[in-house]
Amino acid sequence: MRAFRRSIDVTPGLGRSFVAMGDGLTAAISISRAAVGPPSFFRQVGAILWKDLAVELRTKDILSSMLVFGLIVLVIFNFAFELRGENLILVAPGVLWVAFVFAGILGLGRSMAQEKERSSMEGLLLCPVDRGAIFVAKMLGNLIFIVILEAITLPIFAAFFNLPVLTPGVGLIVVLGTLGFASVGTLFAAIAINTRAREVMLPILLFPIIVPVIIASVKATAFVLDGKPWAEIWPWVNLLIAFDVIFLAVCFVTFEYVIGE
Amino acid sequence: MSAVSGKGGVPTRKGDNLVNILGFVSFLLIAASMYMGLVFAPEEAVQGPAQRIFYVHLPQAVGSYIAFFLVFLGSIFYLWKGDVKWDVLARSSAEVGVLLTSLVLITGSIWAKPIWNTWWTWEPRLTFTLVLWMIYVAYLMLRWASEGKQGARYAAVLGIVGFFDVPIIFLSVFLWSKGLHPRPAGMDPGMLAALIVSIFAFLLLFTYILIQRWRWETSKEMVEEMKLKLGR
């Protein structure tokens, strides 16, 4: 009886993994169709990125969960901090970034869980694909999803708390902060997915590392909202740029060892 | 002594005597540094006796930086060469480093209570040490949550990423708030002597702990290998 039930439990998983192999193969075919011999790095990145975007367009799995969660965080913080009056400008940038980071970490985890559940990462690894291309594509996918989340959350945030956050300055800081977050996040999501207690591991690994991103983004956003001159904001923006450059390189190089074998 | 004999194909532990001597010498030196710090060094004019914790606090901080640098070296060489001994070095150093950073935070708090009138303040160096501690606690948790060669590779990647993060964290917390950490300027020769002796004593003790930890991990690897050979 028990064996029978187990066979039922296993079958849908099997079916799903066949579908996933299909996903991987589609990406592989679109890569190999391009030319004889190994396709160029950017073509590989494009194919894998397109696979992620196409899956998301059909399921809306990652974006919907991130969006709802981000909104809930904003509402909860409104009650937790009494976001009105004089402390608003002090607390609001922190609230905004915590909402981004919490919702973002959800998206990072989901995006890698999809690869795992449907074994499409295995499919990708079987293809003649550069490991670095997989990293760049996954990172760009995560970056796009989180930036879409931010683009929707920012106007809602502006309306909820009546703050002028829809400026090019805030946009620049948001994109730079998210780039650093997404690059380290993609690397660690690939690690966390293969550990025990994977849901807990991702934030435990990621949060201490991105402390500089959080400090710099919150400070820079607060300065912009406060109308401070750009001379004071630049050190923080430079810090974000430095973080992005260093960790894009470090994560690009080390990703190979994370997904290897 | 505790040396394992070579009977029945069991590998002999070489250098047991040397390690025991190292342990004994570091014990003597720690005792000497306690005397130097608590009795020999003159009392600091402003802070009074509380300053004496400095002779324990600073060597621990120096030791933890060295330990985390060894984690970085071990991680790089493990990914490069794939030899398990580098991984053993990284994981032993990480444990010693986390132990030392915990002690740095605790002794710092004990000092801060009478001097700053608070156990904790979000001063840059304290914040920096706390974030550093969290990164390497996460490293140990990752080791616990993953196994075998895969776990070793994951840990090595974190060891490298964490190390590259250190200067950026340092920069960001110093931009973030003003420092109040005391800077030793114009130290009394007695104090300097006590400090040098205690740094030397603690570094020797950490080396001893690290070697013991390293030997233990190597033995564990050997046991795993034997189990594999026996087909278990």
pLDDT, tens digit (0-9, with 9 covering 90-100), for A100-134: 999 999 999 999 988 888 888 888 888 888 889 99
Flag whether the ipTM exceeds 0.90.
no
pLDDT of residue A13: 42
B-chain CB neighbours of A258 within 8 Å are: 153-154, 157
Least confident of A23-32, A249-258, B163-172: A23-32
Q: How high is the pLDDT of residue A231?
A: 87
In the predicted structure, residue A204 carries a pLDDT above the cut 90: yes
Picking from A184, A188, A195, A241 by the largest number of B CB atoms within 10 A of its own CB, the best residue to mutate is A195
Q: What are phi and psi of B2, to 5 degrees?
A: -90, 10
Identify the weakest region by mean pLDDT among A9-13, A139-143, A173-177, B88-92. Answer: A9-13
- Helix, strand, coil tally for chain A in percent (to 5): 85, 0, 15
**Distance from C-alpha of B64 to C-alpha of B86, rounded to nearest angstrom:** 18
Residue A1: predicted pLDDT: 38
Percent with pLDDT over 90 in chain B: 48
pLDDT at B189: 83
pLDDT digits (tens, 9 = 90+) for A139-186: 999 999 999 999 999 999 999 888 888 889 999 999 999 999 999 999
Whole-number Å distance between alpha carbons of A143 and A181: 9
| Whether the predicted pLDDT of A35 surpasses 70 | no
The single residue listed with the structure tokens 């399921």 is A59
How far is Cα B186 from Cα A15, in angstroms, rounded to an integer? 74
- Under CATH, what is the fold of the domain B17-180+188-221? Four Helix Bundle (Hemerythrin (Met), subunit A) (1.20.120)
Q: Do B172 and A242 touch (CB under 8 A)?
A: no
Residue of A nearest to B161 (CA): A250
- Give the start-to-end residue ranges of the domains of chain B: 17-180+188-221
Q: What is the mean pLDDT of residues A247-259?
A: 93
Cβ distance of A195 and B161 shorter than 8 Å: no
Query: Hey, what are A191's tokens?
Result: 């690690």
What's the mean per-residue pLDDT of chain B? 87
> Strand, coil or helix: what is A36?
coil
